[in-house]
Amino acid sequence: MTSENPLDPLDAYTAAEDAPLSEGEPAGTPTESAVGTLTAIEAARVAVKTLLDGGVRYVVVSPGSRSAPMAYALAEADAAGRVELLVRIDERSAGFTGLGLALSTGAPVAVLTTSGTAVGNLMPAVMEANHAAVPLVVLSADRPDELRGTGANQTTDQLDLFGEHVRFAVDVPAGTDPQRAVETALSAATGAFEDTPPGPVQLNLAFRDPLVPAAGDHLPEAAGPGIWQIGRGPEPLTLTPADAGLEERRTVVLAGHDAGPVAEAFARAHGLPLLAEPSSNSRFGPNAVGPYRLLLEHFGPEAAQPIERVVLFGRPTLSRPVAQLLARADVPSALYQPVPVAWYEPGRRTELPLDNLSDLADFSGRGSAAWLDAWLLAGAAAQHALDQALADEPSATGPTVGALVWKHARGQLMLGSSNGIRDVDLAGQPTQEPQATVFANRGLAGIDGTISTATGIAWGGRQETTLLVGDVTFLHDAGGLLLGFAENDPLLRIVVLNDGGGAIFNLLEHGAVQESGAYGNAVERLFGTPHRVNIAALAAAYGVEHCSVSTTAELAEALTAPRQGRSIIEVRTDRQGLRELHGRIKAAVGDAVRGVLAP
């Protein structure tokens, strides 16, 4: 939404404040009506107070001159104990840090930048926040109207820079009261408007000199920082067991990203197999099946017990077998959607959207004991075959690292995109109770800002946090290791699977192209992107503890070692042969499953 939408607070501003310069007036000279009634510092104080009154407790600040009034007003609120500030010199890192804070706290988080390219650096985080429905509030400082279009330094058209990726964007002219604009932006960010999911917003705040506090202004007496969030894990739910009158159907429950514990409770109440992605926060309980994506072909249309229906919670993002199942015209599917979501456009998916569990139960029916037992037996056989195949590997591999991280993570766990989250999806064995709250940037599934996001998650959750990433994802956001001056280290462990490049492409079609030799080293050079970065030296440069391991035993020891602050566990491995390993795993699982499902 833009400043022209029905939520626009600008009708509170007078037309005179937007009046053009009088004829003959030199550029850069404000008219009397354009000056407004508030100084930059006064307007900034109103904006900050309104943000804090609206529930903002964290603000990530990137340095700049035009944004100085907001920085000073935030410093005053920080000293008074009303807000907690984090400082990042890189705006892209600032954006993803704010994203992580909002994910872990569930509350709106603001990010402040100066004008110009600084604002554009927030685009990746804003795009992710859009598709993941995260309440990220962009505070972009700007030049006053009389300086726009004049060639003034660091001045460009900033309003609507994020286009359709924000729920609301508004330009607040210099000297005007920003209260209503801020209130409307917070309402849009938190999903307070009908049929609109939460998401990012932009407040483009113009400030006119002077940009510093008046003589005699000073920080208030320090009140000490507040702790705004104490992290808690996902709590299991209990639903009433399915009505015995429901029809028995061979239905599976798919739990995609952000499905939540309700998916597990629904599967348990209706006696249905649960196929849950790691970031669903549903991958636990007696009905959860571990390596489910390798089992789908064994319950296909030619099987003795084929899948009849699918119930979907959350957003499925990880595997082609799941996408192929949902695309089948002969298998009806329903999507549980009690509130508006941001990850798809209405009418663009084939699932039947249902907003209540009663209608969902009528659609799914209940599973017979034979149906659930078939899945659980196949799942146990598949898990055993997979574990045996991995045990035969002499050194650590992606799936073994994923399995160990999943087993030992407590508190909060963030999974990077590419192979990391897929390794956990393949090899992470479901537990009876949830062990950690799981996060992942699955809105657009990019590798941007992953370290910064995890840092925000750790800071906001105030508890032990583990991040699993590949080396390319790690290097993409190495600058996210830089914290602001005097900031305490969050309790963050970063596990880096370093196989010298992008291993995910070996598992896609590009791996076959590479094996054919038809394109020489093009696949390795352009997709594998090999590197020789010394991660230990990089960690030392940022003052982060580092250790290197190469076996599963060493990794298990490192994951269970006591720790303080931030640390990096680098797992050195080789991505050559990864395609063959996955082939062996699939073959072993297939043999085991056919053995237990044979009539």
| pLDDT for the residue numbered 232 | 64
pLDDT at 355 over 50: yes
pLDDT digits 0-9 by tens, 445-481: 999 999 999 999 999 999 999 999 999 999 999 999 9
Q: Are residues 342 and 130 in contact, defined by beta-carbon separation less than 8 angstroms?
A: yes
What is the mean predicted confidence (pLDDT) over 23-30? 40
pLDDT at 534 over 80: yes
Q: Find residue 549's DSSP bridge partners.
A: 571
- Which residues, 6+ apart, have CB-to-CB distance to 97 below 8 Å? 60, 86, 88, 111, 449, 452, 453, 455, 456, 459, 480
> Do 45 and 163 share a domain, yes or no?
yes
pLDDT at 231 over 90: no
| pLDDT for the residue numbered 516 | 84
Structure-token pair, residue 519: 């394109």
d(CA 446, CA 440): 10
Q: Are residues 71 and 211 in contact, defined by beta-carbon separation less than 8 angstroms?
A: no
pLDDT at 170 over 80: yes
| Residue 545 maps to a domain | yes
pLDDT digits 0-9 by tens, 306-336: 999 999 999 999 999 999 999 999 999 999 9
Indicate the average pLDDT of the chain: 91
Distances (CA, A) of 299 to 198, 250, 283, 444: 37, 10, 20, 30
- Which residues, 6+ apart, have CB-to-CB distance to 266 below 8 Å? 239, 253, 272, 311, 313, 336, 357, 360, 361, 364
Q: Which of 203-212, 262-271, 572-581 has the lowest mean pLDDT?
A: 572-581
Q: Are residues 49 and 38 in contact, defined by beta-carbon separation less than 8 angstroms?
A: no
- Which residues, 6+ apart, have CB-to-CB distance to 514 below 8 Å? 506, 523, 524
What is the mean predicted confidence (pLDDT) over 37-63? 97
Q: Are residues 181 and 206 in contact, defined by beta-carbon separation less than 8 angstroms?
A: no
pLDDT band at 210 (very low <50, low <70, confident <90, very high): very high
pLDDT band at 126 (very low <50, low <70, confident <90, very high): very high
| pLDDT for the residue numbered 34 | 46
Q: Are residues 316 and 339 in contact, defined by beta-carbon separation less than 8 angstroms?
A: no
Q: What is the 3-state secondary structure (H, E, C) of 361-378?
A: HHHHCECCHHHHHHHHHH
| Nearest residue to 378 via CA among 294, 318, 255 | 294
Q: Are residues 457 and 465 in contact, defined by beta-carbon separation less than 8 angstroms?
A: yes
Top mean pLDDT of 7-16, 435-444, 503-512 is at: 435-444
d(CA 263, CA 498): 34
Among 347, 382, 417, give the residue marking a domain's end. 382
What is the mean predicted confidence (pLDDT) over 214-238? 79
What is the mean predicted confidence (pLDDT) over 75-83? 95
d(CA 312, CA 301): 19
- Domain with 547, as residue range(s), is 396-573
| Nearest residue to 243 via CA among 221, 267, 269 | 269
> Do 410 and 523 share a domain, yes or no?
yes
> Do 366 and 405 share a domain, yes or no?
no
Into how many domains does the chain fold? Answer: 3
Please give the residue that has the higher pLDDT: either 31 or 302.
Answer: 302
What is the mean predicted confidence (pLDDT) over 99-113? 97
pLDDT digits 0-9 by tens, 376-435: 999 999 999 999 999 988 889 999 999 999 999 999 999 999 899 999 999 999 999 999
Residue that has been written with the tokens 């840090």 in this structure? 97
> Do 373 and 403 share a domain, yes or no?
no
pLDDT band at 222 (very low <50, low <70, confident <90, very high): confident
| Residue 98 maps to a domain | yes
| pLDDT for the residue numbered 19 | 32
439 three-state secondary structure: strand
| pLDDT for the residue numbered 33 | 40
d(CA 127, CA 449): 12
Ordered DSSP codes for 40-106: HHHHHHHHHHHHHHTT--EEEE---STTHHHHHHHHHHHHTTS-EEEE-SSHHHHHHHHHHHHHHH-
CATH number for 468:
3.40.50.970
590 three-state secondary structure: helix
| pLDDT for the residue numbered 32 | 41
| pLDDT for the residue numbered 450 | 98
| Nearest residue to 97 via CA among 498, 441, 544 | 441
| Residue 221 maps to a domain | no
> Do 366 and 332 share a domain, yes or no?
yes
pLDDT at 252 over 90: yes
Q: How many residues does the chain have?
A: 599
Among 142, 172, 206, give the residue marking a domain's end. 206
> Do 145 and 37 share a domain, yes or no?
yes
Rounded to the nearest angstrom, the gap between the alpha carbon of residue 185 and the centroid of all alpha carbons in its chain is: 21
| Residue 87 maps to a domain | yes
CATH number for 266:
3.40.50.1220
> Do 53 and 25 share a domain, yes or no?
yes
pLDDT digits 0-9 by tens, 268-316: 999 999 999 999 999 999 999 999 999 999 999 999 999 999 999 999 9
| Nearest residue to 374 via CA among 319, 431, 306 | 306
| pLDDT for the residue numbered 256 | 98
> Do 264 and 313 share a domain, yes or no?
yes
> Do 420 and 370 share a domain, yes or no?
no
Distances (CA, A) of 492 to 104, 272, 363, 465, 536: 14, 36, 43, 5, 17
What is the mean predicted confidence (pLDDT) over 235-256? 93
> Do 285 and 162 share a domain, yes or no?
no
